[in-house]
Amino acid sequence: MENTNEYLFNYRGYNFERALIDIEFLKNIEDFEIRDDDVFIITYPKSGTIWTQQILSLIFYEEHRNGTENIKTIDRVPFLEYNIHHLEYAQRPSPRLFSSHIPYYLAPRGLKSKKAKMLYIYRNPKDVLVSFFHFSNLVSLLEASDTIEHYMETFLDGKVVGSRWFDHIKGWYEHRHDFNILFLSYEEMKKDLRNSVLKLSKFFDKELSEEDVDAVVIQASFEKMKSDARANYDVILSDEIGTRNSDGRFLRKGTVGDWKNHFTVEQSERFDRIFHKNMKDFPLKFIWDLNEE
């Protein structure tokens, strides 16, 4: 099958992480039973998933906010298609929070009742590419690439987990009316985290006091997450997924515009041309550098 190799498993035209996938679950994913109060975070990889898992977990769970329970964020907001801790989804109390990288056409049908709320987090694809490049070189489950030049080709061809970035975001956006889904960008969260938290608590009907909002904003900062074992995935990387380099971190840099430190001018211009060709008339705004705002 196209794009299927030792790292990727292609199912219905979309690449999954081979080592983490349960094929039987995948075959039934569209029938996965949805509750009206389920919450889904949808992302293309490296777009801010674990950050948003942390934010929603803090918004939804008082015990997470005040630190009275020590549950890992991944177990609060598990990945639907990568159930690495074998959680019993059907036994979980409501509201259940999930995250997922699936394309719109593999979404459980129950989401189309538009009752369950969904959040699509997107990030400028040059920074996605750079983050993915480093992550692919870090974890043993992904194919390493020696140069950005080589990785750019792989990424643009969609020979990565998540397949083509363009297809993922356009697919979800073009089908947004089929779902109850809010689009929010990584860069918007970076620019004004407090305002983003307020936006999210409003969308999810979670009333938070000023102190609650402060607690979410503080604990969702890059620095706090780096030192929070529940949130930073360090243990998952070292003990469960496996790394090629023990110095690497899931929370690597957490900035906007790191692509400028990696792309040559020619690579950037080439990427721009491909971006404009693919994203012509696409209405969502992308922020490539916070200083240019």
Residues catalogued as catalytic? 101
45 binds ligand PPS (CB under 6 A): yes
Q: Is residue 260 a contact point for ligand PPS (CB under 6 A)? A: no
Residue type (1 letter), 1: M
Does residue 220 belong to the site contacting ligand PPS (CB under 6 A)?
yes
SS3 65: helix
125 upstream amide cis, omega within 30 of 0: no
In the bound state with ligand PPS, the residue whose beta carbon lies nearer, of 35 and 141, is: 141
Least distance in angstroms from the C-beta of 43 to ligand PPS = 5
**For ligand PPS, which is the closer residue by CB, 38 or 228?**
228
Q: Determine if 12 is a binding residue for ligand PPS (CB under 6 A).
A: no
Q: Under the criterion CB under 6 A, does residue 136 sit at the interface with ligand PPS? A: no
Is 110 one of the binding residues for ligand PPS (CB under 6 A)?
no
Q: Is 64 in the site for ligand PPS (CB under 6 A)?
A: no
x/- map, 267-286, ligand PPS, by CB under 6 A: --------------------
Helices and strands counted in the chain (H then E): 13, 6
C-alpha 176/C-alpha 163 separation (Å) is 19
Q: Say if residues 131 and 252 touch (Cβ distance below 8 Å).
A: yes
Angle between helices 265-279 and 148-156 (to 10 degrees): 10
Among 46, 65, 72, 164, binds ligand PPS (CB under 6 A): 46
* Interaction between residue 251 and ligand PPS (CB under 6 A): yes
Picking from 114, 256, 94, 261, the residue whose alpha carbon sits closest to that of residue 190 is: 256
Residue 200: is it exposed, middle or buried by C-beta count within 10 angstroms (0-12/13-18/19+)? buried
Per the structure block, which two tokens stand in for 278? Answer: 């693919």
Determine, following the binding rule CB under 6 A, whether residue 287 of this chain makes contact with ligand PPS.
no
Task: Compute the least distance from the CB of residue 74 to ligand PPS, in Å.
Answer: 10
Q: Which of 8, 14, 34, 43 binds ligand PPS (CB under 6 A)?
A: 43
Strands 97-100 and 39-43: parallel
Find the binder of ligand PPS among 95, 171, 254, 257 (CB under 6 A): 254
The identity of residue 41, as a single letter, is I
Measure the CA–CA gap between 292 and 181, rounded to whole angstroms: 28
Instruction: Considering the complex, state which of residue 35 and residue 236 has its C-beta at the smaller distance from ligand PPS.
Output: 236
By the criterion CB under 6 A, which residues form the site for ligand PPS? 43, 45-51, 127, 131, 134, 220-222, 225, 251-254, 258
